[in-house]
Amino acid sequence: MTTPLKLCSANLARIGEAVAVPAFERSAVRPGIVHLGVGGFHRSHQAVYTGRTLCLDSSWGICGVGLTRGDKKMEQTLTQQDHLYTLVTKKAKETSVEVIGSICDYIFAGEGKNTEKVLARLEDEQTRIASLTVTEKAYMLNDTTGDLDDTHPLIQHDLQSPNAPKTPVGFIVEGLRRRMANGHKPFTVLSCDNLPLNGHLTKKIVLQFANRVGGDVGLDQWIDENGAFPNTMVDRITPATTPEDITLVQRDFAIDDAWPVCAEDYTQWVIEDKFTQGRPRWEDAGALIVEDVAPYEHMKLRLLNGSHSALAYLSYLEGHRKVHNAMEDDDVYAFVSEYMEVVKATVPPPSGVSLDAYTHVLRERFSNPNVSDQISRLAEDGSKKMVSFVKDALNELIYEHPDANVDVVAAAVAGWIRYSFAEDLEGKPIEIKDPQAGTLREYAEISKRKGSGPFIGRFIGNQFAASGRFRKRVDHYLDQLEKQGARAVMQSATTGL
């Protein structure tokens, strides 16, 4: 095996022709974007789109920011590699590698370090966009009200010490406050997380926080009148990097990258065209710039993300651990296909999009063995995902499509409840990774005595617990899970018997 080249700027010209490298002069790149949360998805998605525009305008480089202790490793890796990394694109039968060079700086602000350095970057007029990919729970929402959770210890800290923030919203608001104080225009706040109307949600919590810390000087009003919070829809399956992925890049492409990112070849980014100070020409890299993101968002959240959640719990209880293996199971495949078919009735197709073709592509993507995700990861954060991805579709099915086969949704919810017992059907422990793990388990235990109603009411909504038709089907599948197993539940729900 050829000795792999250490990934760094000095070695770019020596990398083999089979690997694409940045076509722009990296030394000329300046950060115009500050991005909070440089994980795998950002590196496979926004950073890739941005890198493909830097030949046109080098002022849109990315300064990454890590806010958690776990981000220390990312800082160390990127710093050692001149902020370069490899994107490994895996088709079902082919793999390609590209070096991504859009990140030009990285600041680790976890553990209270470098807070002022991040704020200075946000304050700098060169920063025109502050984007974030921080997962649902980092938005610090109250699950009941949908407002900013001002009881959260980190939010309480930021409200008391707004000039030394720890949360994404705290950093954004303090950066905007400094811009207002200096007479500068606000940067655009661009959410790249899988949340319904993510721009509207981000604006809501930013304004609520700004009112608390700067309402007396009109900070929230200034942001409301001058700022921009575009909605976006993002899509690319990006499984966690494994040691085997690192070895693949070394062995097959002769590059020593300590932390490559792997992704499928499918990628989509739909962006509402609403920016305060311009943006990169992401459309030249394949992004869709539109007036209304909602139709694309409904399609993706309900059909892709909702199907992932529907698949996760029952296939795990059936014994599957990887998504592509689950999709090789005829009963799982049929169940997921029926779920998509049922939910499709609640999805108005975006202009020029065939929902039949879209769901066909989804099943192909789920079945790709080269980007197979861990089912346990899909099952994480169910208390947020089921609300974001399933609740609204279920509401429409029950109240607007009374003849629809809600059995597949009821079976998915039953699988979630049973998974929340924190043990599988054979009594083996399951680690529940969810901000409400304890409460999930508490209500799952209650379901053994009182049925699914309390659990459904607590986590999805009282209107669904009050729907006798739906609740009874969930109870039926919970009983069937214990007596006959997950396969029988999927078979029964798919056929409606």
**Three-state SS for 309?**
helix
Amino acid at 93: K
Do the beta carbons of residue 41 and residue 236 sit within 8 Å?
Answer: yes
Q: Look at the block and give the residue holding tokens 């990398």.
A: 15
| pLDDT of amino acid 401 | 87
CA–CA gap between residue 180 and residue 376 (Å, rounded):
44
The pLDDT assigned to 1 comes to: 63
Nearest to 366 by CA among 309, 295, 444: 309
Q: For residue 442, what pLDDT is reported? A: 97
CA distances from 292 to 199, 227, 295 (A): 12, 18, 7
Q: How far apart are CA 2 and CA 65, in angstroms?
A: 35
Residue type, 290: V
User: For 393-401, which contacts have Cβ atoms below 8 Å and span 24 or more sequence positions?
Assistant: 393/302, 393/306, 393/343, 393/346, 393/347, 394/460, 394/464, 394/470, 395/461, 395/463, 395/464, 396/345, 396/346, 397/342, 397/343, 397/345, 397/346, 398/464, 398/467, 398/469, 398/470, 400/346, 401/345, 401/346
pLDDT at 352: 83
**Are 94 and 100 contacting, i.e. CB atoms less than 8 angstroms apart?**
no
Residue 134 is encoded by which pair of tokens? 């921080």
- Position 1, amino acid: M
Residues 6+ apart with CB under 8 A from 158: 165, 166, 167, 169, 170, 209, 213
Q: For the chain, how are helix, strand and coil distributed in percent, rounded to 5?
A: 55, 15, 35
Q: Which of 104, 125, 107 is nearest to 61 (CA)?
A: 104
Burial level of 17, CB count in 10 A (0-12/13-18/19+)?
A: exposed
Residue 243, number of CB atoms within 10 A of its CB: 7
Q: Which two tokens stand for residue 289?
A: 């710039």
d(CA 163, CA 175): 9
Pull the structure tokens for residue 385.
């995902």
In the chain (497 residues long), the average pLDDT of successive 10-residue segments reads 91 95 96 98 98 97 96 97 97 94 97 93 98 92 90 96 97 98 98 92 98 95 98 92 96 97 95 97 96 93 94 98 96 98 94 93 94 90 90 91 90 98 96 95 96 96 90 96 97 88
What is the pLDDT at residue 233? Answer: 94
Place of tokens 């690997």: 19
Contacts of 191 (CB under 8 A, 6+ apart): 131, 132, 198, 199, 201, 202, 229, 231, 232
H or E element: which one contains 366? helix 355-366
Give the separation between CA 365 and CA 367, rounded to whole angstroms. Answer: 5
189: left (phi over 0), alpha (psi -120 to 50) or beta: beta
Residue type, 52: R
- Tell me, what's the pLDDT at 371? 85
Q: Which residues contact 73 (CB under 8 A, 6 or more apart)?
A: 259
Output the CA–CA distances (angstroms, integers) from residue 34 to 63, 190, 207, 299, 314, in the order listed.
5, 10, 20, 29, 39
441 CB neighbour count, 10 Å cutoff: 17
Which candidate, 268, 272, 260, places its Cα nearest to that of 285?
268
**CA atoms of 107 and 36, how far apart (whole Å):** 10
